[in-house]
Chain A
């Protein structure tokens, strides 16, 4: 396919301040600003219409914590009764001692800085998130806890749904083609459960492709072709 054709198949990109619809036909959704009857985009993105709701899916965004999200965090430092955790968001999260799976931690006896050291990678769920306080993480749950091996990669948080695909289709394509398991956090962090540099390079290429071309039709086919070494 020529580059000209590929460009024609792009979903149109909107920029902040660009009119995207009006209230006669739509309800304003994510990343839109309503001024009188018209909606304007607030970020660079692509338009998605779901029924009457009109969203602008940002091409570059920050992770906004929501309750129930699986996130991959990096422990920053211990604090009075827990740890502060970097979750790739403007907000630092807090992991309280009570949400750590080990049963008995006594502050008087145990050095919590040794239980979870700074820089440790963890997978957890967002237990509480509000605009008034730091998001709270829990490590209590199946498959949650400290990650002992693997490789950490990043993607823009708004591209995570595209990387996972409809009902996990894209993720299963990647896992099938590479033979390794991936843990994808909603905050744009990915753990590749492998240390094979060839596989990691392959997955990194796929992530870069998703990041770059998520707004162009036929991404799953192109990812499949990239993984299998075919020409798309």
Chain B
């Protein structure tokens, strides 16, 4: 107790050897589940996340349907084996809250008015967690929606920025998330030049927030490029399903 954890090495780099504004290695694959209408898999550092989409389909029970647009249902869930200690598979308070937050973020991207009276189900399953799962989950969910053929107002990408030992850092891992001073997940849609998700936990000055925002937009633009490449790869001729 009371032992101080250092989040930076002597050379100024982070514990995993990254620079302050460096993302973790990202691997994205689209169309990984043949039973779902759309799916995507993302590895961001040690995070491993699957996203699947079903729908649009008739909203049941009928009273939940809306006459002018479709509704989105989102389930963010962490597998029992996703954390160092077994996680109770029942949805926790945090998972219920994140499901709602991700649904709201995705709702602003989907052209819901094209499918009145229907529902779209989005499942985000965290297979292995290492900080920043909501951001990686959102990045994958957007791709799963596009893979399902659902019309979108652009592809949003998400990345967390934060502060550790007084320095603004990008793409926080689990250690930085737990022991850092602030954490600010952001999802950015470059097409609309708009932020679709912004949360913050911790304390940052106005200048730090401005710096963090600018770093987050640069980072999400890099992730966005990877999303575009993964989606084009999925539909390109050279790809063969095995």
Binding site for B on A (CB under 8 A): 3, 6-7, 10, 13, 15-18, 31, 33, 35, 40, 42-44, 58-62, 90-92, 131-132, 156, 158, 212-213, 215-216
Residue among B56, B153, B155 making CB contact with A15, cutoff 8 Å = B155
Chain A residues whose C-beta falls within 8 Å of the C-beta of B154 in the assembled complex: 16-17, 40
CB-defined interface of B186-201 with A at 8 Å, one 1/0 digit per residue?
0001111000000000
A216 to B151, CA, bound (A): 23
The interface size bin for chain B is 35 or more
Chain B residues whose C-beta falls within 8 Å of the C-beta of A158 in the assembled complex: 149
Chain B residues whose C-beta falls within 8 Å of the C-beta of A62 in the assembled complex: 56, 115, 149
Residue among A13, A16, A31, A156 making CB contact with B155, cutoff 8 Å = A16
- The closest CB in chain A to the CB of B31 belongs to A60
Contact A13 B153 (CB under 8 A): no
Contact A60 B147 (CB under 8 A): yes
Which one of A58, A60, A215 has the highest number of Cβ atoms from chain B below 10 Å of its Cβ? A60
Contact B58 A35 (CB under 8 A): no
Chain B residues whose C-beta falls within 8 Å of the C-beta of A59 in the assembled complex: 149, 235
Contact B58 A15 (CB under 8 A): no
Q: List 14 A-B contacts (CB under 8 A).
A: A7-B238, A15-B146, A16-B151, A17-B154, A17-B189, A33-B111, A42-B111, A60-B147, A90-B115, A91-B58, A91-B117, A132-B116, A156-B149, A212-B237
B226 to chain A, nearest CB (A): 12
Chain B residues whose C-beta falls within 8 Å of the C-beta of A35 in the assembled complex: 191-192
Let me know if B228 is at the binding interface, CB within 8 A: yes
Q: Which of B136-158 contact A (CB under 8 A)?
A: 146-155
Binding site for A on B (CB under 8 A): 38, 55-58, 67, 70, 111, 115-118, 146-155, 189-192, 227-228, 231-232, 234-238
Which one of A15, A58, A216 has the highest number of Cβ atoms from chain B below 10 Å of its Cβ? A15
Ranked nearest first, the 7 interchain pairs of A and B with the lowest CB-CB distance are A17-B154, A60-B149, A17-B191, A90-B56, A16-B152, A42-B151, A90-B118
- The closest CB in chain B to the CB of A60 belongs to B149
A35 to B58, CA, bound (A): 30
